[in-house]
Structure 1
Amino acid sequence: MKRKLDANDAPTVEVAPESQPDDPSFDSFGLDPRLMQAVAKAKFSAPTLVQAKVIPLALEGKDILAKSKTGSGKTAAYILPILQSILRRKKTSPKDKATSTLVLVPTRELADQVHKAFGSLSAFCSKDIQSLNLTQRLSDAVLQAVLQDSPDIIVSTPGRVTQYLNSGRLSLDRISHLVIDEADIVLSYGYEDDINTIASILPRGVQTFLISATLTPEVEELKTIFCRDAAVVKIDEKEEKGEGVTQYVVRCGEDEKFLLMFVLFKLRLVRGKAIIFVQDVDRSYRLKLFLEQFGIKSCVLNAELPVNSRLHVVQEFNKGLYDILIAADDQEVLGGIVRRQKAQLQTLDGQENEMSDEDDGVEQHVSKKAKISKNEKDYGVSRGIDFQNVACVINFDLPQNSKSYTHRIGRTARAGKAGMALSFVIPKDRFGKHKATCIPSAKNDERVLEKIIARQAKKGNEVKPYHFDMAQVDAFRYRMNDALRAVTRAAVHEARAREIKQELIKSEKLRKHFEENPDDLRHLRHDGEHGAIVRHQSHLKHVPDYLLPPQGRKGVTSEDIGFVGLRKLDPDSKRKDSKKRGGIRKGRAGGKTRGKVDPLKSFSARKRR
């Protein structure tokens, strides 16, 4: 498809972004007072680096291609100038109703997040600006009524927009702003045909924002299709404020992953919110049930859950109801990479596959046109979703390439805050030693780690080894084995089925069906109450002091402290303790005792009257 021209069919020339003041403020942008109120309410003290560079260019009407890391404030960087433009238009034509902004995102979770961000920043001008999330679960009649009212802003996935365009219920004739958020992965979700359809319908002269964490061939392709005279804003990670992510790696056995998870959370070595990435859905429930054995609460997020449930999980995690979120990043967001590598591991046992950075790029390009299921299109954990105040990211299962690793650890250290990333790696000589917890992808862990270290070194980051004192940790091994034995395959499958059943019970769409067929609802509830469950062992929830080293939890990660078992008392201290309890008792030959009186010798019965 040819490049979009401007309204006058003028040739386009790319320009470099202009330099900005060293310490810009939101006041310097000349925003509407109502927007400034919303900025103050959101507690934005000063614009981030990407906001300081993008907002002035956007207010001038330029197309923007912005590349900045996750959590740098890219969303507000395009929302504020768009809202300013709409308010300016409404001031001159207050009765003019038209859908002027279209925001395209790859997942429904991100659509919900962006829609809420628009609502937050337009809170003080909500009478003048209306927005619609086209992916939300509303009836067609309700959506049709809202669309007829011409909301100013529509947030959606490309597939949903195409669906409404084909049915004639949506018009893009008055669009003046187009945003493609997470532009580097939109095409990899299989939306290429939808993007081309939208591009062919858009009017000329649309201001375009391409927002991305990386610059890939897919982004360049979108730039060619949509942009004219684009200002390219690149924010290097070194320019970002904050300490960034401190990265650690632990080499351990397959079963020791579970052991270390117990130590990290039960002994509270990790404080604050944590996201744990695992390989697949089964793995996420296995880890959740394992942690439950020790009284550790967590929630699960995966593509198997309905959209509303996933949004609810994210909200509960952000509100602090759960401190641990277990994410099944099974499709690695880039579509098809993991599935292909799993097949290679299963069919080409023993053959090594080169996994260079160049290979990663080829796989992304190939996966762009691969068929992806509907759930996978809607789901993405390591990119886009705004998990708030995450202190730690744990790669329980190492990702399959260095780029996915970068996106995973980007969930922490957002907006200038510090964070930690901890990754478990299975050495090649320890692969397959514990069949119950083994996964095929772990065979490539060391090779993937080499690529991760090399990629991070180019950015000036170091991946440090993290040492546990395994002599201390081994004291908890029997507890780990007890918990793992209780989490059977049947229990994992039942946990998955039970969660789906609970979602069916809470489904709004099935409410009428259950009203007409109460037996179906009763059977679902009965199955949820009496299914196969994990055998809970209450003693595992308590950590006795004798299992801890003398210096407590710190001794677990110290290499100088040896394990101390039950504390033995010397004879003197034993004698002192016995005196405090009332003296040492003597036997029959030792005289009087302070024990109980023999009831047979002291019994006396009264005669009944």
Structure 2
Amino acid sequence: MASLRFHELGLDDRLLKAIADLGWAKPTLIQEKAIPLAMEGKDLLARARTGSGKTAAYSIPIIQNLLQSKLTVSEQAVRVLILVPTKELGQQVQQMVRQLTTYCARDIRVADISGQVDVSAQRPILMEKPDIVVGTPSRVLCHMNQGTLCVRDTLQAMVIDEADLIFSFGFEEDLKNLLCQLPKIYQSFLMSATFNEEVQALKELVLHNPLILPCRCHIIAQFNKGFYDYIIATDEHSLSEASGKEKRATGRKKKGKGEKGQDAEYGVSRGIDFQNVSTVLNFDFPQSVDSYIHRAGRTARANNPGVVLTLVAHTELSLLKEIEEALGGGRWIPGHTFSIAAVIY
């Protein structure tokens, strides 16, 4: 199925013009999946890494929904909270929103209060009731407690960006207290690079029957379409160190390589349909002959040429010998011929 274009998403012309100015030809995967659902008012839990277009994935539908609501509601009020773990991310989010509202800046205003400036210096900004407020949970809560920010009757949507970091950065209590000052009904977005225990806890606190978008599982399809030249991946489970006492996840780069995993989203080792992979780079040495074959099998498919480069530590020479013996003995699987061309010590 062909990818949607921005003009097919039902966006305001002013938004489309700003998007065109940014040079975005078409939505990224997370944007294509999230924007229509968010415009319908759905709660979303999206797994998306930095660089995937996640900020625009929630900013675009938020701006679109605000523009729509302003057709019938004239009162100026804070209607969106975007919570971030760091001031740097807060600045990035504000910049993105401002770029997207270039042609509707009079209608949609955004304020970033995540910085470490004195709270009193931010009061005049909040007194103007910007449509979107970006801030850390602690700073947002501080303004709520001082009465300079009140959204109990006006909030339409809340975003928690980099949700997997919110608790680990020490914002758990602030966030829980902040939630007590929100209305009962509002749209929520959780954006996270990982689905860990903290994100699960946030999901229970914030979301109501959310749609879950595990967009990393589509990286393979994107790679096969030429979106990426390189993919860095980890194996589908941790493997023992040579000492047998420590655990590590084997990782390796591949020029044209991807993953699936312990949660079925990762794992380059087993039957994943990569296409046109030219090179596999094993940064950590495979821990078995089968693992080596599965990794190497991501390249040189369908009678195409391919190269596998493997870095070997001195503690892994016994594994190297095992693999050399297996491949030297003519180990073969359909569609692939393996040979060790050179070993450099």
TM over 0.5: yes
In the alignment, is residue 22 of structure 1 matched against residue 2 of structure 2? Answer: yes
Instruction: Report the Cα distance in structure 2 between the residues aligned to 1:168 and 1:422, rounded to whole angstroms.
Output: 56
> Among 105, 108, 127, which residue is 1:129 paired with?
108
TM-score, structure 1 length as denominator?
Answer: 0.39
Count of matched residue pairs: 258
2:86 to 107, 120, 123: 107
Q: Show CA shifts across 1:511-536 (max 9, x none).
A: xxxxxxxxxxxxxxxxxxxxxxxxxx
Matches within 5 A, 1:562-577: none
Q: How far apart in 1 are the matches of 2:116 and 2:282? A: 37
* Kept in 1: contact 2:282–2:310 (CA 8 A): no
Aligned to 1:144: 123
1:49 matches 2:29: yes
* One-letter identity of the residue aligned with 2:94: H
Question: TM (normalized to structure 2)?
Answer: 0.67
One-letter amino acid of the structure 1 residue matched with residue 54 of structure 2 = K
What CA deviation, in whole Å up to 9, does each residue of 1:266-323 have, x standing for no partner? xxxxxxxxxxxxxxxxxxxxxxxxxxxxxxxxxxxxxxxxxxxxxxxxxxxxxxxxxx
User: Matched residues in 1 for 2:282 and 2:23: separation?
Assistant: 30
In structure 1, the residue matched to 2:62 is 82
2:11 to 25, 31, 43: 31
Sort the Cα spacing of 1:43 and 1:161 in 2 relative to 1 into closer, same or farther, 3 A.
Answer: same
Displacement of 1:107: 1.1
Structure 1 match to 2:247: 355
**Residues 34, 422 of structure 1: alpha-carbon distance in 2 compared, 3 angstrom cutoff:** farther
The CA deviation at 1:167 is 2.2
Q: Does 1:194 align with 2:86?
A: no
Kindly indicate whether the alpha-carbon contact (under 8 Å) linking 1:24 and 1:47 is maintained by their aligned counterparts in 2.
yes
What is the alpha-carbon root mean square deviation over aligned residues? 3.3
How far the C-alpha of 1:356 sits from its partner, in A, is: 5.4
Amino acid at match of 2:221: E
- Larger helix proportion, structure 1 or 2? 1
Alignment counterpart, residue 223 of structure 1, candidates 184, 203, 207: 203
Q: Which has the higher contact order (CA 8 A, sep 6+)?
A: 1
Q: Which residue number corresponds to residue 239 of structure 1?
A: 221
Structure 2 counterpart of 1:346? none
* In structure 2, C-alpha distance between the alignment counterparts of 1:139 and 1:219, rounded to whole Å: 30
Q: Aligned partners of 2:172, 2:119: CA distance in 1, in Å?
A: 25
**1:138 to 1:123, Cα distance in 2 relative to 1, 3 A:** farther
Cα separation, 1, equivalents of 2:176 and 2:282: 40
CA distance in 1, matches of 2:12, 2:101: 11
Moved over 6 A (4+): 420-423, 460-463
Aligned partner of residue 179 in structure 1, secondary structure: strand
Contact 2:163/2:191 (<8 A) preserved? yes
- Whether the aligned pair in 1 keeps the contact of 2:14 and 2:103 (CA below 8 Å) is yes
Structure 2 unaligned spans of 5+:
234-242, 250-261, 267-279, 300-307, 313-341
C-alpha distance in 1 between matches for 2:106 and 2:311: 54
Could you tell me which runs of 5 or more consecutive residues in structure 1 were left unpaired when the two chains were aligned: 1-20, 248-350, 358-401, 407-419, 426-445, 468-557, 561-609
Distance 1:33 1:421, change over 3 A: farther
Alignment of 1:448-487 (within 5 A): 464-465=309-310
User: What percentage of aligned pairs have identical amino acids?
Assistant: 35
- Contact 2:38–2:61 under 8 Å retained in 1: yes
> CA–CA distance in 1 between the matches of 2:311 and 2:64?
49
**Shift of the alpha carbon at 1:113?**
0.7
Contact 2:281 2:310 in 1 (8 A): no
Matched, 1:211 2:197: no
Q: How far apart, in 2, do the equivalents of 1:205 and 1:239 lie?
A: 36
Which of 165, 174, 177 is 2:157 aligned to?
Answer: 177
What's the CA shift for 1:140?
A: 3.9
Bigger fraction of residues in strand = 2
Aligned to 1:342: none
CA deviation profile, 1:96-150 (whole Å, cap 9, x unmatched):
1110000111111111111111111111111111111102354544411111111
User: Counterpart in 1 of 2:271?
Assistant: none
User: 1:200 offset after TM fit, Å?
Assistant: 1.6
Q: How many Å apart are 1:37 and its aligned residue?
A: 0.5
